[in-house]
Amino acid sequence: MSDGIDAILDVVADTAPDVRGGLAGRRVYETAENPSGEQQLAADVYADELLEERLLALDAVGSYASEERDAAVPGTDGEYHVAADPLDGSSNLKSNNTMGTIFGVYDAPLPASGRNLVAAGFVLYGPITTMVVARDGTVTESVIDDGDREIVTENLVVPTDPTVYGFGGRVPQWTDAFAEYVDGVEQELKLRYGGAMIGDVNQVLTYGGIFGYPGLRDRPEGKLRLLFEGHPIAYIVESAGGASSNGERSLLDCEPDRLHERTPLFVGNEPYIDRLEAALGE
């Protein structure tokens, strides 16, 4: 029996082809900036408006919030609250590289704790379009093609023999403790960093390893947003048997005070996350 969460997942999946189909003509920057002070691409605004319109049409959705708008938009008195990064890695559109749509379904008004998530997922616009969804402790991967969504992996689990890593920020901006940690990782894993978190996290889900965007010397809060990026990705990777951290604890145990709060973000195999927390905690 499908429920409100199924309806939300169907809307995201059904909207993916429209987002992908609308990218080519929207590679230009708007004059406006998003609440994080980043210039918006026409594609960012387009994807955001599509998701807002279609999600708020659902009885199950009580509100919609996104990286591209100041405040959450109220819907019906539905029990679920959706937070989205409509086009993660949109700076990759100009160079025609991977991007994605990230979303989290919370059972409390936003901002909320990661422990209020009841489902989360992402759509990856790569050579093909895939959708990864975590719910009830299980992660599935589907291929979206020609409007159909076909499950290709029933129980996605982070491989336990990790091979890849990727870290954001410029090396001179890294703290000494983090740089020392990376020195060790570099001896063991191969570099995979494409500039869109969702593509890099999918490398970790597929091959095992670690992805992170650390707190920087001049920006200890990091770059990525807790509600729209941190929580959903942590929920997916932890549901797939991996771990997440803000450098101290699971991202799911972090509750933002503000909608657009940033956080250091790390996800991957537990041993690498444990080593990271030990290195940063020294």
Contact 266, 278 (CB under 8 A): no
Residue closer to ligand FBP, measured from CB, 91 or 140:
91
Residue closer to ligand FBP, measured from CB, 49 or 79:
49
Residue closer to ligand FBP, measured from CB, 54 or 223:
223
Distance CA 255, CA 26 (A): 34
Minimum CB separation from ligand FBP for residue 174, in Å? Answer: 12
Distance CA 258, CA 262 (A): 9
Query: Alpha-carbon Rg of the chain, whole angstroms?
Result: 18
Minimum CB separation from ligand FBP for residue 198, in Å? Answer: 6
Minimum CB separation from ligand FBP for residue 91, in Å? Answer: 5
Distance CA 175, CA 247 (A): 12
Residue type, 149: R
Residue closer to ligand FBP, measured from CB, 125 or 213:
213
The number of residues in the chain equals 282
Minimum CB separation from ligand FBP for residue 261, in Å? Answer: 14
The one-character DSSP state at 225 is: B
| Structure tokens that stand for 244 in this block | 């997440």
Residue closer to ligand FBP, measured from CB, 149 or 266:
266
Minimum CB separation from ligand FBP for residue 87, in Å? Answer: 6
Residues at the contact surface with ligand FBP, assessed by CB under 6 A: 38, 67, 85, 88-91, 168, 195-197, 213, 223
Minimum CB separation from ligand FBP for residue 272, in Å? Answer: 17
Residue type, 243: A
Largest CA distance in the chain: 53
Distance CA 247, CA 92 (A): 27
**Which strands make up the sheet holding 164-167, listed edge to edge?**
190-191, 164-167, 209-213, 265-268, 243-245
Residue closer to ligand FBP, measured from CB, 4 or 178:
178
